[in-house]
């Protein structure tokens, strides 16, 4: 049977359980938090006082912090790109509205709140150039992205398993930094977003574990391929106004590493966690090619850790059009 037919068969088999995944890992719309639960209510007389408090607390946060928060917000707001990409994955039928397309729509609905609440917070904070942020977001959606998965569900689910945990770590650490500076509102927002990302990570991680039960050799080859390519962040093509595609990403990434929000060591740690959870060292019945892929994967974290020790992050802060200096540099 051709490979794509096997993948489709596996996807259709797992789809029979999709309702249980939705019930376990997603929260009904009427019960889940909404951005307004955290932000000042414009219908209340206290609105301007609360906005003033946000603006005062925002002054305590560093330049790199704002660069990272803007980058995280833009990444979340490029959600239309991610949904359209996943809707093209083999086994997902948006026209027949099968279980997989239902999962993606519900997942998208949850994710959409993240960019919404962060964008409103940035606007109220008075610390960033919102027009530049908006231009960057539109560019990121216009430019699309290529995560190296094509329409292969196996590779896509490796990517989402990895990326959801990476965003969990990033949001959680941003929240921790905000709390240290006395910004409890932003800390709560980032922590609750991180909680959503963790639930989503657990779901995609489970999808891959299921695939390993049905098609272990092809699944491990897909895992190896994604690790050889390296997991690229969704914002890899991010750029500021007037700049060429991808030019802002390295400086944004350097800011995140300087703050300790997301580092090379986190990347390696996520990889190790996935290798352990999927128990690839205990898989049986692998093809010769898949056995070689397993050997590569088992050795990869240590190899990357040795390389990471030699990597140095620039200490100088890079100025962004998104963030006005205002005495922060």
Find, among 172, 146, 142, the residue nearest to 159 by Cα: 146
Catalytic residue, from 72, 110, 197, 215: name it. Answer: 197
Catalytic residue, from 15, 76, 152, 224: name it. Answer: 76
Would residue 196 show up in a list of annotated catalytic residues for this protein? Answer: yes
Contact (CB, 8 A) for 165 and 202: no
- DSSP state letter for 280: G
Would residue 167 show up in a list of annotated catalytic residues for this protein? Answer: yes
Q: What is the pLDDT of residue 315?
A: 87
3-308 homologous superfamily? Ribonucleotide Reductase, subunit A (1.10.620.20)
Phi, psi of 128, deg, nearest 5: -130, 160
Half-sphere exposure of residue 103: CA atoms within 13 angstroms, side-chain side: 27
Catalytic residue, from 167, 218, 266, 278: name it. Answer: 167
Catalytic residue, from 106, 114, 139, 171: name it. Answer: 114
Q: What is the pLDDT of residue 146?
A: 85
Q: What is the pLDDT of residue 58?
A: 95
Would residue 197 show up in a list of annotated catalytic residues for this protein? Answer: yes
Would residue 4 show up in a list of annotated catalytic residues for this protein? Answer: no
Q: What is the pLDDT of residue 147?
A: 86
| pLDDT tens for each residue of the chain, 329 residues long | 566 689 999 999 999 999 999 999 999 999 999 999 999 999 999 999 999 999 999 999 999 999 999 999 999 999 888 888 899 999 998 877 799 999 999 999 999 999 999 999 999 999 999 999 999 999 999 998 888 898 999 999 999 999 999 999 999 999 999 999 999 999 999 999 999 999 999 999 999 999 999 999 999 999 999 999 999 888 889 999 999 998 999 999 999 999 999 999 999 999 999 999 999 999 999 999 999 999 999 999 999 999 888 878 888 888 999 998 765 65
Give pTM, 2 decimals.
0.95
- Report the length, in residues, of the chain: 329
Give the Cα separation of 37 and 291 in Å (integer). Answer: 50
Would residue 291 show up in a list of annotated catalytic residues for this protein? Answer: no
Q: What is the pLDDT of residue 235?
A: 85
Would residue 160 show up in a list of annotated catalytic residues for this protein? Answer: no
Would residue 278 show up in a list of annotated catalytic residues for this protein? Answer: no
Cross-strand pairs, 69? none
Q: What is the pLDDT of residue 1?
A: 53
Among left, alpha and beta (phi > 0; psi -120 to 50; other), residue 144 is left
Domain range annotation of the chain: 3-308
Would residue 76 show up in a list of annotated catalytic residues for this protein? Answer: yes
Would residue 85 show up in a list of annotated catalytic residues for this protein? Answer: no
Catalytic residue, from 72, 110, 164, 215: name it. Answer: 164
Q: What is the pLDDT of residue 95?
A: 77
Q: What is the pLDDT of residue 234?
A: 86
Cross-strand pairs, 323? 128
């Amino acid at each position: 049977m051709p490979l794509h037919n096997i993948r489709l068969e596996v996807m259709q088999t797992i789809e029979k359980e999709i309702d249980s995944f939705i019930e376990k890992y997603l929260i009904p719309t009427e019960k889940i938090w909404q951005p307004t639960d955290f932000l000042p209510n414009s219908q209340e007389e206290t609105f301007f006082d609360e906005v003033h408090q946000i603006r005062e607390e925002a002054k305590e946060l560093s330049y790199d912090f704002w660069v990272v928060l803007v980058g995280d917000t833009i990444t979340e707001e490029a959600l239309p790109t991610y949904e359209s990409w996943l809707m093209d994955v083999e086994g997902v039928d948006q026209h027949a509205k099968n279980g997989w397309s239902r999962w993606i729509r519900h997942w998208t609905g949850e994710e959409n709140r993240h960019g919404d609440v962060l964008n409103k917070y940035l606007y109220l904070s008075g610390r960033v150039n919102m027009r530049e942020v908006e231009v960057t977001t539109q560019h990121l959606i216009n430019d699309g992205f290529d995560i190296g998965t094509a329409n292969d569900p196996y590779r896509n689910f490796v990517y989402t398993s990895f990326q959801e945990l990476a965003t969990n770590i990033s949001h959680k650490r941003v929240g921790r930094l905000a709390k240290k500076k006395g910004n409890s509102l932003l800390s709560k927002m980032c922590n609750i977003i991180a909680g959503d990302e963790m639930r989503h990570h657990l779901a995609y991680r489970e999808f891959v574990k299921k695939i390993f039960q049905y098609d272990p050799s092809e699944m491990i080859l897909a895992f190896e391929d994604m690790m050889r390519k390296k997991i690229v962040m969704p914002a890899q093509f991010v750029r500021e106004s007037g700049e060429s595609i991808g030019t802002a990403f390295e400086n944004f990434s350097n800011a995140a590493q300087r703050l300790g929000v997301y580092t090379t060591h986190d990347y390696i740690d996520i990889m190790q966690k996935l290798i352990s959870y999927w128990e690839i060292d205990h898989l049986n019945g692998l093809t010769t090619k898949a056995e070689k892929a397993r050997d590569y994967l088992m050795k990869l974290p240590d190899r990357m850790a040795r390389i990471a020790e030699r990597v140095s992050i620039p200490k100088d802060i890079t100025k962004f059009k998104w963030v006005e200096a205002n005495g922060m540099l």
